[in-house]
């Protein structure tokens, strides 16, 4: 009798889990495994524009990347998705990156985040965690080298603060390889 009760309880719990509609994995993680996802904050129009341009360039220049840009609500959400490793790449302002790096401002409750710059874009940065694949970061830096808008202009920094976010090892690898080839 006891065995039958336990079996019924187990089936009930299993059935409830299946019928509840919850997936046994995080959707961002699954999506990121199939393509390179670049996230940005909703309210940042320039980051949105950069996200679209960068994802299109990566999809065209890096075979198999299937890059896509997606927005999330706030810069804090961007950093939380990076922190949880649900996504690997983000476009953020220099201010947000600097604050997240040291865990200040809006990011103080979460503490410091080990961000690294993969590619700078004027007042914005394409960032990843320090643990992000060096090979992928090098491929991304190479694919986005010399980035220009369709009109031929480049993103300009203006009077924005300097980034304190160090370069990602993959970006450094690309930079060193380029310098050894060009002698610059």
Domain boundaries, the chain: 25-182
Whether 18 shows a pLDDT value over 90: the answer reads no
- Cα 80 from Cα 171, distance rounded (Å): 23
Residue 174 in this model has a pLDDT that exceeds 90: yes
Predicted confidence (pLDDT) per residue in 29-56, tens digit = 444 445 789 999 999 999 999 999 999 9
Q: Which residue has the higher pLDDT, 102 or 154?
A: 102
Write the pLDDT tens digit of every residue in 108-130. 999 999 999 999 998 999 999 99
Calculate the average pLDDT of the chain. 83
From CA 163, how far away is CA 67, in angstroms rounded? 25
* Assigned CATH class of 25-182: alpha beta
> What does the pLDDT read at residue 160?
60
Measured CA to CA in angstroms, residue 86 lies from 25, 39, 123 at distances of: 11, 11, 25
Sheet strands side by side (includes 115-121): 68-72, 37-41, 89-93, 124-129, 115-121
* Residue 6 reports pLDDT greater than 50: no
Predicted local confidence at residue 4, as pLDDT: 57
Structure token digits, residue 143: 């694919």
DSSP one-letter string for the chain: -HHHHHHHHHHHHHHHHHHTT--SS-HHHHHHHHS-EEEEETT-HHHHHHHHHHHHHHHHHSTT---EEEEES-HHHHHHHHHTTS-SEEEEEHHHHHHHHHT-GGGGGG----EEEEEEETTEEEEEETTS-HHHHHHHHHHTTT---TTS-----TTPPPP-PPBPHHHHHHHHHHHHHH--
Residue in 141, 144, 130, 133 with CA at minimum distance from that of residue 97: 130
Structure tokens at 44: 């940042």
Helices 169-182 and 134-143 pack at an angle, to 10 degrees, of 50
């Amino acid at each position: 009798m006891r065995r039958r009760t336990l079996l019924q309880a187990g089936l009930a719990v299993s059935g409830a889990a299946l019928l509840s509609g919850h997936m046994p994995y995080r959707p961002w993680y699954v999506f990121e495994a199939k393509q390179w996802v670049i996230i940005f904050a909703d309210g940042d129009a320039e980051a949105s524009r950069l996200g679209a341009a960068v994802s299109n360039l990566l999809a065209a220049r890096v075979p198999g990347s299937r890059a896509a840009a997606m927005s999330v609500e706030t810069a804090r959400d961007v950093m939380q998705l990076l922190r949880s490793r649900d996504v690997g790449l983000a476009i953020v302002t220099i201010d947000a990156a600097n604050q997240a790096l040291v865990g200040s401002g809006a990011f103080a409750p979460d503490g410091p985040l080990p961000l690294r710059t993969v590619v700078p874009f004027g007042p914005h940065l394409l960032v990843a965690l320090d643990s992000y694949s060096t090979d992928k970061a090098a491929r991304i830096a190479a694919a986005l080298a010399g980035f220009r808008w369709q009109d031929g202009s480049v993103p300009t920094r203006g009077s924005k603060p300097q980034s304190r976010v160090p370069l990602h090892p993959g970006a450094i690898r690309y930079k060193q390889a380029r310098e050894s080839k060009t002698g610059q």
